[in-house]
Structure 1
Amino acid sequence: MGYLDESLKVRISQMYYYKGMAKQEIAQRLRISRFRVARLLDQARKEGIVRIQIIEPTTTSPEIEEQLEERFGLKRAIVIKTGSQSEQVIKQTIGRAAAECLVDVLKDGDVLGIAWGTTVNEVVKALPPRLDVDIKVVQITGGLNQMAININAIDLTRRVAEICGAEYYLLHAPAMVSSVAARQALLTDSGIERTFSMFDKVNVALTGIGALSPELISTYSTYYKAGYIKDDDLKLLKRNRVVGDIFAHFFDIEGRICDAELEGRIIGMSTAQLKNVPYSIGVAGGLHKSLAILGALRGKLINFLITDYATAKGVLARADSK
């Protein structure tokens, strides 16, 4: 190999990789064949003149994302390195990532389902002031009386609809009622019936994932504080070793739904409908949510997860140990 070819390898590599010139353009500039340009570029890579290095972003973890996707059959996982153990910082960071993702995912004609929660609120807060996409927005779960207005599903649905200039469907009803009969009575309301008719049309859903320790349900459960869950229900949840919920659908570590009678009291999208949503996006973070996320993944309640690095590692570790 002569000096001319050695010199050409360097020059062609600089033109191709630094300047972004096409092979045909390089060939014309140097008055050589396109075939020779391609051959010299290939030799430059093989001989180490050109070294291609992929720099992994410091804010995400592609390796962990791939492990989650393969392990649980997810359509996508996004794992964010927050650099903080603060629960609020974790939620805000996940919210920003999920908002960017939602902007990419949503297309004209989509029907977006919105649940409730503090992390879902962070997603909505991080959305741009205006989103130019022709969609419909549906509230997929009822509200909770003692929940702050800005994290209630009604308010979240309205806010997303305003950002998108979209038609929206609300559920003016609690997330759970005291009996199956009470639920049936509510479903006769024309407004609620109208919103329920949209559930099967939802093709993108956004939901939080609640963590519930069987020992601490009575202390921390919003449903218990709001009076939707009674003491007998608590005993049932503890007996079934509930670890989490997705808008009042309580499940154990294997993702099994807790109890048919409790399910029959929920005002919102069913788990069967949720599993049929092409993009069911779960947003949750913090190590205390590892078991809940694991249960949701095993139960196929979501197919798109956005979480933080430490929690993702915790989910994988618990999946290996249980």
Structure 2
Amino acid sequence: MSNYKNKEMVKIAYYYYRKGLTQAEIAKKMGMSRQRVNRILKRAIEENIVKISIVDIDKYNVELENKLEDKFGLTQAVVISPMDEKSTISSLGIAGAEYLEDSLSKGDCVGVTWGKTLSEVAKRLSYNQSLNISAVQLIGGMNIAYSDLKADEITREIARKLGGEAHILYAPAIVENKEIKDAIMSDNQLKETFSNMEKCNVIIVGIGELKEETTLYKESYLNQQYKEHLLSKGCVGDIGFRWYDKDGNPVDHDYNDRTIGYDILNKKNKALTIGIAGGENKHEAILGALKGGYIDVLITDADTAEALALS
């Protein structure tokens, strides 16, 4: 390249990056088309005449987030770097709460499932009662030892902090047969809660994985027959007790007609669905949820994100 051409490239780059001139202003100044200015600026980067450095890009996992967004068509990915594996859930809770605080608007309606991570989100959420944001329980209640993991407690906590009404689903998550479900679903209060589910414009979900070492598998409310049946059908994960396989396909199993709650795998509304999950046991379930297109925003940890990006 001649010295003249090289100087022209440097000068145009100087005008654009140092002096802050627009491409149209540079074109007029240099007596050339704006399209040519654009081409020269691109070439300046390609030939390392201009080197762009973004401070803290690795610290905040920006490139990894972008990989997940591109690979799975996500609206946004948020990747955190917890101090160690033990702090993953609390770190995800903080990140989830911060994301909600930044993205929620006054009068929004938030749908909620259950679990340790969502419990942490609710705990970490700041008080902002002027937002008047209501919360809706999306899955029926469960007989578990820790009340703060229950969907109704998480729903109440979010509504209390954000100044809205809590719409509680007064029913078990899973009943003995379809006839019992049909009888429960005929209740007017339950019908009203289901009506409110359709009004949610934001949905926050945990992602469960059916492995022996996970909380979901160990909890006594899931009997052995239920677990074994789901495994035999190829289930790898759930969102609100709606199960899917490794490719993200909803699984038709014997308990579908016995489950009371919002069927997020076949959702009809256009709510922004935020999935918050991470840890070494969750990779397969999160991958299935991403393949199925069930979540729009993923908040996860760096190790899980790396595995997802490579899958």
TM-score strictly above 0.5: yes
- Give yes or no for contact 1:205–1:277 (8 Å, CA) kept in 2: no
Per the TM alignment, residue 158 of structure 1 is displaced from its structure 2 partner at its CA by 0.7
Q: 1-side partners of 2:243 and 2:139: how far apart?
A: 14
Corresponding residue number in structure 2 for 1:243 = 236
User: Does 1:225 find its partner at 2:220?
Assistant: yes
User: Does 1:75 find its partner at 2:75?
Assistant: yes
Corresponding residue number in structure 2 for 1:301 = 294
Corresponding residue number in structure 2 for 1:211 = 209
Query: RMSD value over aligned CA atoms?
Result: 3.2
Aligned counterparts, 1:113-192, within 5 A: 113-192=111-190
Q: Which moved more, 1:114-123 or 1:267-276?
A: 267-276
- Give yes or no for contact 1:110–1:136 (8 Å, CA) kept in 2: yes
User: Residue 124 of structure 1 aligns to which amino acid in structure 2?
Assistant: A
Per the TM alignment, residue 51 of structure 1 is displaced from its structure 2 partner at its CA by 6.6
- Give yes or no for contact 1:283–1:306 (8 Å, CA) kept in 2: yes
- Give yes or no for contact 1:287–1:311 (8 Å, CA) kept in 2: yes
User: Residue 148 of structure 2 aligns to which amino acid in structure 1?
Assistant: N
User: Residue 225 of structure 1 aligns to which amino acid in structure 2?
Assistant: S
Matched position secondary structure for 2:275: strand
Corresponding residue number in structure 1 for 2:62 = 62
- Judged with a 3 Å threshold, the aligned counterparts in structure 2 of structure 1 residues 274 and 237 are, in CA distance, closer, same or farther, namely same
Matched position secondary structure for 1:172: coil
- Give yes or no for contact 1:200–1:273 (8 Å, CA) kept in 2: no
Per the TM alignment, residue 224 of structure 1 is displaced from its structure 2 partner at its CA by 6.4
Corresponding residue number in structure 2 for 1:26 = none
Cα deviation 1:62-85 (Å, max 9, x = unaligned): 222112112211111111122x33
Cα deviation 1:21-75 (Å, max 9, x = unaligned): xx8xxxxxxxxxxx79x979x9xx97x9997531134542122211211221111
Corresponding residue number in structure 2 for 1:280 = 273
Per the TM alignment, residue 272 of structure 1 is displaced from its structure 2 partner at its CA by 4.6
Corresponding residue number in structure 2 for 1:202 = 200
Q: 2-side partners of 1:168 and 1:146: how far apart?
A: 21
- Judged with a 3 Å threshold, the aligned counterparts in structure 2 of structure 1 residues 98 and 161 are, in CA distance, closer, same or farther, namely same
- Give yes or no for contact 2:176–2:258 (8 Å, CA) kept in 1: yes
Q: 2-side partners of 1:221 and 1:284: how far apart?
A: 13
- Give yes or no for contact 2:208–2:216 (8 Å, CA) kept in 1: no
- Judged with a 3 Å threshold, the aligned counterparts in structure 2 of structure 1 residues 131 and 274 are, in CA distance, closer, same or farther, namely farther
Per the TM alignment, residue 229 of structure 1 is displaced from its structure 2 partner at its CA by 4.3
Corresponding residue number in structure 2 for 1:31 = none
User: Residue 55 of structure 2 aligns to which amino acid in structure 1?
Assistant: I
Count of aligned pairs: 287
Q: Deviating runs (4+, > 6 A) in structure 1?
A: 48-51
- Give yes or no for contact 1:59–1:80 (8 Å, CA) kept in 2: no
Q: 2-side partners of 1:50 and 1:295: how far apart?
A: 41
Structure 1: gaps of 5 or more residues: 1-9, 18-22, 24-34
Per the TM alignment, residue 176 of structure 1 is displaced from its structure 2 partner at its CA by 1.3
TM-score between both structures, scaled by the size of structure 2: 0.80
- Give yes or no for contact 1:256–1:299 (8 Å, CA) kept in 2: yes
Cα deviation 1:85-119 (Å, max 9, x = unaligned): 323x1111111111111112211232100111100
User: Residue 195 of structure 2 aligns to which amino acid in structure 1?
Assistant: S
- Judged with a 3 Å threshold, the aligned counterparts in structure 2 of structure 1 residues 272 and 155 are, in CA distance, closer, same or farther, namely same
Cα deviation 1:227-261 (Å, max 9, x = unaligned): x5452x33321222221111211221111222243
Matched position secondary structure for 1:306: strand
Matched position secondary structure for 1:196: helix
The share of aligned pairs that are identical, in percent, is 34
Aligned counterparts, 1:85-96, within 5 A: 85-87=84-86, 89-96=87-94
Q: 1-side partners of 2:72 and 2:100: how far apart?
A: 21
- Judged with a 3 Å threshold, the aligned counterparts in structure 2 of structure 1 residues 109 and 223 are, in CA distance, closer, same or farther, namely farther
- Give yes or no for contact 1:280–1:304 (8 Å, CA) kept in 2: yes
Q: 1-side partners of 2:236 and 2:99: how far apart?
A: 27
Q: Which moved more, 1:126-135 or 1:163-172?
A: 126-135
Cα deviation 1:159-218 (Å, max 9, x = unaligned): 1111111022101211111211111111122221110111211110011111112xx38x
- Judged with a 3 Å threshold, the aligned counterparts in structure 2 of structure 1 residues 193 and 230 are, in CA distance, closer, same or farther, namely farther
- Judged with a 3 Å threshold, the aligned counterparts in structure 2 of structure 1 residues 81 and 270 are, in CA distance, closer, same or farther, namely same
Q: 2-side partners of 1:97 and 1:152: how far apart?
A: 20
Residue 108 of structure 1 is aligned with which of 82, 106, 109?
A: 106
Matched position secondary structure for 1:245: strand
- Judged with a 3 Å threshold, the aligned counterparts in structure 2 of structure 1 residues 229 and 277 are, in CA distance, closer, same or farther, namely farther
Corresponding residue number in structure 1 for 2:6 = none
TM-score between both structures, scaled by the size of structure 1: 0.77
User: Residue 69 of structure 1 aligns to which amino acid in structure 2?
Assistant: E
